[in-house]
Structure 1
Amino acid sequence: MASNCTLKEPRIELDYATYVGTSLSNGVDQFLGMRYAAAPVGDLRWRAPAPPEQQGIELAQEFNNFCIGTGEKEAPGVGEDCLYVNVWKPTDATPKSKLPVWVFIQGGGYNQNWSPNYNGSEVVETSGHNIIQVNFNYRVGVYGFFAGKAVEENGDLNNGLRDQLALLHWVQNNISKFGGDPKHVVIHGSSAGAGSVALHLISPRPATATLFAGGIMESVFVPQQPRKTELEWQYHRFVEQLGCAGDSAEEEMVCLRGRDTNATQEANVPSPFPESIGAPFWYWVPVIDGDLIPDEPLELFARGEFTKVPMIIGNNQNEGVFFVPQASTAQDVINFMDDNYPRLTGDDNTKIAEYYPLMDPAPPNAPYFPSVEQAYGESTLICPAISILEAIRNADAEPAWSYRNHIYDDFYASLGFGTPHGYEEGAIFGPNNTNNPGRYTSPESFYTYNAPLVPVFMDYWISFVRTLSPNPYRSDEAPKWHPWNESRSKLLIELDNLHMEAVGESQFERCEFWEGIDRSLGSK
C-alpha cells in the first residue's frame, strides 16, 4: 500500500522553477501541484494555455486546485487556476533511467474534473519501481469547451484538449528529469479521459503522433459531436445570461473575461438544445473545429485516419446507470435519448424502441430503467469502443486488447446498478488511492471479497505501460489476453472467472445502428 511516511525532500530543476517534492518510505518520490501552464484567468480565459511564469523554489508536497466544473461553486481546492501536474517516480530514478511513463487523463464528461488527485505511488511501487506515473487537471465546462465564432476570433476553441496537449508537451520536455523516457509515453483515460485519448488519436497535427507510444481507453465517451458553426445559440445564451451582449464580439468577450468566477458559474449550467425539451446530461463538449478535431471522430476512425499505436479499450457492463432517468415508459426512453442526441429521426426512435424494449426488472428502479440504461450506455460508451476496435482491426493496425468488466458488487446490486461506469479505476490504481469525496470513490468491495481482482487489473495495466502489451507482467492468476485483431473477442472480468469471450451478433447489430446516427446539433 502507498505510504505517506516521508524520508527526505527531493528536488527537480525545471526551466521555470525548482520543485521540492516528498520521498515516501516505499521507494517512491512524489511531486504534487506543479504548474505545467500559466493560470488561465483574466485575459487568458478561453485562450490556449500559456507557458508557466518563471518561479523560484516551490514546494510540491500537496495537491493543488482542480478545475471548476459545470454547476459547481468556487471553493477551497477548486477554481479556475488549476493547470497543475503530479508526478510519482522511483526514488533512485535518474535521467539515465529512461523509464516508461504512464499519463492518466481523468474523466468527468468534459464538464468536471471527476477523478483529480489520484495517488500514483502504489502503481510505481507495484511495477518494481520501473515506471513513472503522471496525472493532471485540465479545463472543463464553459472554461474548457466554450465555442462560437466570437470565441474563435478572440481566443481559442477546445481549450480543455489544448491543456492536455500542453501537458503532453510538458512531459516531452521535462519527464526525463524525473527518470522517464519521453519516447515511451502511454496515455490512459477513463470516460471523457478515454474520449480525449480517442480525439488525440485522430488529431491531424504532425507532432501529436510523437507524443505517445500507446493508449488505454476505459469507457470511451463519445456524446453529441457538434461542429463549431452549430453552437452560436449556446454562445449567445451564455452572453445574455451574464449581461454581456454588446455591439461587437470583441466587446462581448472583454465583458465575459471581466466576470469573476462566481458570476460566471451562475451561467455555467446546462440548458436544452434547440428543438429539445430537457437539458442534456453533458452540455459543454469538444467541437469539430477543423484543427484539433477535423471531422466526426468515429468517421475518421472508420476511414483509418488515426495514429496507429497499441491500445487497451474496454467497458463496464452497465455504463449508463449513473446518467439516465427513472424511465417508466418506452416514451421516457425516447425523450431522454432525443434530449442528448437531438438529430435522432423518427426511424431512429423506432429502432431504439425495437432494440431496447421492456427488459427484466432491476429493482428498486422504474420499469424502463434497464432499457434506457442500456440504450444510453451503448450509444455513448460501449458502441464507440467497438467501432474503434473494428477500425483498428480493419486498418491492420497495432494490436488492441478489449475487456468487459462484469464484477458483482453487493452495494451496486442492491441499487439495481450492476457493474457501473468507472468501476475498475479503484482496482487499477489501488482502492486506497482513488478516493475523492463527492467525486470518484473506490468500491468498498475492492477491500474485501473483490480484492483478488485488484492485482489482476493493476498488473495488466502496468504490463501494458511497460511493454505495450498487457501480458508479459500480468499476475499469476490472470490468463493470457488475446488481442481483438485476432478474434474480435474480449476478456471477461469476473471474480474467479476470467476468460476470453466472443461478442454476439446482436451487439454488433446495435452498434452498427449507433455508429450511423447523426451526432451533430444541426436542425432536423
Structure 2
Amino acid sequence: MFSYSLATVLSSALLLVSVKGASINSTSPVATVKNGTYVGKYVPEWQQDQFLGIPYAIPPLGQLRFARPKSLDTAFTGTRNATEYGFSCYQYSNPNFTLSEDCLTLNVVRPAGTSPKQKLPVLIWVYGGGLYAGSTADPQYNISGITHVGQEIGKPIITVSINYRLGVWGFLQTPQLLAEGNSNAGLLDQRLAFRWIKENIAAFGGDPNRITIWGESAGAQSLAYHLLSYDGRNDNLFQSAILESGGPTGAQVQPLAYYSAHVENLTRATNCWTAKNQLACLRDLSSDQLWKARVTTVWNPLIDGDFLTAYPSTLMKEGKFIRLPLLDGANSDEGSNFGVTGVDNETAVFNSLLSWRSYAIVPNTARKLLELYPNDPANEPPYYIKNATIFPNKGLQWRRSAAIAGDIVMISGRRKFCELYTDAGQPVYSYRFDTPLWNAAVTDGARHFDNVVFSFQNISGALGPLPKYQNYTNLSHNIGRAYISFVNDHNPNTSRGNSTLPYWPKYDLKKPTNMVLNSNKTYVEADTWRKEGIDFINSVAREILA
C-alpha cells in the first residue's frame, strides 16, 4: 500500500463498506445516517440486525497519517453494503485479520426489526491491547452475545464497537505533531467515533442521550482519559461508563522528551533520520514500509495541552472530570501479568522497581513499597493460594513483585476512581473478578483479561459441551444481566429476578464494597484489602507519570 492522493482518500471513505458476494434483499435491514443509507444483514441465530464496517472518518492515509481524524462530510446516493467487518488497524502483531490504515470503522448490532422510533439505550465497546493491538473483528469481541442478553431479559440495547489507530500509527509523539495539534490521534479517533454515534445512532433505533462507554485494559484506560479530557468538559457524548481492568493511573503519560530516542530509532529504520522534514518522510512511506520497519515501542498518550491538559492524577485532584454513573472493576490476580520474573530476593525486587517498565519510581518510593508489601506469599498473587507456596521457575519473590505490580497498574486506579466518583455524588458499583479460567496454570489465578470471555458471553463457545462448566455459564449470564441493567438504568440490580447475583450495593466511602464475581459463589466484600499499600500508590501517582 502506497501513499494516496486526496481524491483516493475521499473515494475510499465512501466505498469502504463493500462486501464480496453480499446480497441485498427485502429482509435486509436498512439505516439512513447523515451521509447516506447503509444496508446491513439479518442474523437469524441471534435474531439481530448487524451493520458492519461503517466508516466514521476519512481514512487517515497519505498526509492524514498520524493526524487527528477528519469527519466524513460527503454524502452519497444509493446504498452501501454494511455486511462485513472493515479492515483492522495496523499493529505490532500479525493477527489473522487484514490490516490497513483505512480502518476507522464501526459496527452496530441491534435486536432484529428495531425501529428508529424505539430509542434503545446504547453500549459502545472500546477494545484493549496496550494501545498497540486489537480489532473489532476479533471473535473474542463479538458484540452479539451481550446484545442478546438484553433481548432475553426484556431490556433491549444497541451495541456498537469501534476501531481506532494503534501503536505508532495512533500515538506517534513528535514536536511537529504536537505543534500541528495532532498528538494522541488514537484517542481522537475514539472521540470522533463517539461523536458519529451520538449524531447517527437514532437512525438505528438508539437513544443518543442514553449512551454507555465500555472498555477493558487499554480500552478502559482510554475511557478514563476521555472522562478527564478537555479539563473535564462534558460534551454529552456519553452518559455512563463501564471500566474493566483499566483506569486513569495504570499506564504512564510520558513527556515529549521521552519519545526522542524512539523517534530516532523509527526514523533511522525508515531512512528518514537525515530527511529535512522527518514527519513528511514518514508520511510518504508506503503502509508496508512503515509496518516492516515498525519500532515495537509502546507509544503512550501525551499531555498535549488540549485533549489532556495535565497528568490524570492532577486532573482528578483538581476535580476536572465528567460526572456520570460508573461501573468499575479489576481481576484478583492482575499482577500475574505484570510482575517481574526472576527476582529471588529483596534487592532484586528493589532494583526491578527502579527500572520497571517506564515508570519513574525513585529509591525512596521503592523502599516504601517493599515495606508495605512484605514477602508474604499467603497475601500475593495468585491470591487463592493461601499458603507459602513459591514458584522457583518465576523467582522466589515473583509473587511479591506481582502484588506490587498489579496494584500499581490496575487495582489502585480502580479504587481511586471509585472513591473519586462516589465523593462527587455519582452512583458507583465496583467488582472484583475472581474466577481463574478452566485451562489456567496454577500460577495464574484470575489474571488480567480473563474476565472478557464472561463479559462477552462467549463461555459455551470457548468451553464446549455443557453442563460440565455450567457454573461458568451462570456467572457469565449474571455478569451480562448486571451490565444490561446498568446500561438501561445505571443500576446493575434491576434484573436480579433473572440472576443469582446478590444485591450489588453502591460504593460508599464509609463502607466501600466490591461484588466478588466467583463462579462458585458470588458475594459482597469490603474493599479495604491492602489499603495502606494502595493508598500509598495513589499518593505517588504523579511521581510515576500518571
- Verify: 1:502 aligned to 2:526, yes or no: yes
Q: Aligned match of 2:506 in 483, 487, 504?
A: 483
Paired with 1:451 and 1:190, the residues of 2 have a C-alpha distance of 20
Q: Aligned match of 2:491 in 469, 492, 517?
A: 469
User: Which residue of the partner structure matches residue 298 of structure 1?
Assistant: 313
Runs of 5+ in structure 2 lacking a partner?
1-24, 378-387
Q: Alignment partner of 1:497: what SS?
A: coil
User: Which residue of the partner structure matches residue 422 of structure 1?
Assistant: 449
- Verify: 1:382 aligned to 2:411, yes or no: yes
One-letter amino acid of the counterpart of residue 110, structure 2? K
CA distances 1:100-144 after superposition (whole Å, capped 9, x unpaired): 000011111111116644222232232136210000110111111
Q: Alignment partner of 2:114: what SS?
A: coil
User: Which residue of the partner structure matches residue 13 of structure 1?
Assistant: 32
Paired with 2:405 and 2:128, the residues of 1 have a C-alpha distance of 17
User: Which residue of the partner structure matches residue 368 of structure 2?
Assistant: 351
Paired with 1:60 and 1:422, the residues of 2 have a C-alpha distance of 30
CA distances 1:444-493 after superposition (whole Å, capped 9, x unpaired): 99954422101110000000001111111233311111111352111112
- After the TM superposition, which of the residue ranges 499-508 and 132-141 deviates more from structure 2? 499-508
Paired with 2:82 and 2:349, the residues of 1 have a C-alpha distance of 48
Q: Alignment partner of 2:183: what SS?
A: coil
One-letter amino acid of the counterpart of residue 454, structure 2? A
Q: Alignment partner of 1:315: what SS?
A: strand
Q: Aligned match of 1:257 in 279, 283, 302?
A: 283
Change (3 A) 1:75 1:99: closer
User: Which residue of the partner structure matches residue 21 of structure 2?
Assistant: none
- Verify: 1:97 aligned to 2:115, yes or no: no
Aligned length: 495
CA distances 1:178-226 after superposition (whole Å, capped 9, x unpaired): 0000011000110111111111111126864411110011111421121
CA distances 1:15-43 after superposition (whole Å, capped 9, x unpaired): 33322211122431011111111211211
CA distances 1:130-162 after superposition (whole Å, capped 9, x unpaired): 210000110111111111212223460001110
- Verify: 1:77 aligned to 2:98, yes or no: yes
Deviation, 1:8, is 2.9
Paired with 2:228 and 2:41, the residues of 1 have a C-alpha distance of 38
Q: Aligned match of 2:429 in 401, 404, 425?
A: 401
Q: Alignment partner of 2:445: what SS?
A: coil
Paired with 1:500 and 1:223, the residues of 2 have a C-alpha distance of 28
Deviation, 1:262, is 2.8
User: Which residue of the partner structure matches residue 328 of structure 1?
Assistant: 343
User: Which residue of the partner structure matches residue 178 of structure 2?
Assistant: 152
- Verify: 1:23 aligned to 2:56, yes or no: no
- After the TM superposition, which of the residue ranges 451-460 and 9-18 deviates more from structure 2? 9-18
Q: CA RMSD in A?
A: 2.8
Alignment of 1:107-506 (within 5 A): 107-113=128-134, 116-117=137-138, 118-128=141-151, 130-154=156-180, 156-204=182-230, 208-221=234-247, 222-246=250-274, 248=276, 251-270=277-296, 283-329=298-344, 330-337=346-353, 338-358=355-375, 359=377, 360-361=388-389, 363=391, 365-395=394-424, 397-412=425-440, 414-431=441-458, 448-474=470-496, 475-485=498-508, 487-504=511-528, 506=530
User: Any conservation in 2 of the 1:460–1:473 contact (CA below 8 Å)?
Assistant: yes
Q: Alignment partner of 2:349: what SS?
A: helix
Deviation, 1:362, is 5.1
Q: Alignment partner of 1:380: what SS?
A: helix
TM-score (norm 1): 0.87
Change (3 A) 1:521 1:471: closer
User: Any conservation in 1 of the 2:360–2:545 contact (CA below 8 Å)?
Assistant: yes
Change (3 A) 1:434 1:461: farther
Paired with 1:446 and 1:32, the residues of 2 have a C-alpha distance of 34
One-letter amino acid of the counterpart of residue 65, structure 1? F
Deviation, 1:335, is 4.4
Paired with 2:57 and 2:442, the residues of 1 have a C-alpha distance of 42
Q: Alignment partner of 1:189: what SS?
A: strand
Paired with 2:314 and 2:251, the residues of 1 have a C-alpha distance of 14
- After the TM superposition, which of the residue ranges 291-300 and 202-211 deviates more from structure 2? 202-211
User: Any conservation in 1 of the 2:121–2:207 contact (CA below 8 Å)?
Assistant: yes
- Verify: 1:35 aligned to 2:64, yes or no: no
Paired with 1:12 and 1:402, the residues of 2 have a C-alpha distance of 36
Q: Aligned match of 1:58 in 63, 74, 80?
A: 80
Q: Alignment partner of 2:473: what SS?
A: coil
Runs of 5+ in structure 1 lacking a partner?
1-5, 272-282, 436-440
Change (3 A) 1:317 1:85: same
Deviation, 1:508, is 4.1
One-letter amino acid of the counterpart of residue 466, structure 1? N
User: Any conservation in 2 of the 1:73–1:265 contact (CA below 8 Å)?
Assistant: no
Paired with 1:38 and 1:241, the residues of 2 have a C-alpha distance of 28
Paired with 1:491 and 1:425, the residues of 2 have a C-alpha distance of 17
User: Any conservation in 2 of the 1:209–1:307 contact (CA below 8 Å)?
Assistant: no
Q: Alignment partner of 1:460: what SS?
A: helix
Q: Alignment partner of 2:262: what SS?
A: helix
Deviation, 1:261, is 2.4
- Verify: 1:48 aligned to 2:38, yes or no: no
TM-score (norm 2): 0.84
Change (3 A) 1:188 1:433: farther
User: Any conservation in 1 of the 2:61–2:101 contact (CA below 8 Å)?
Assistant: yes
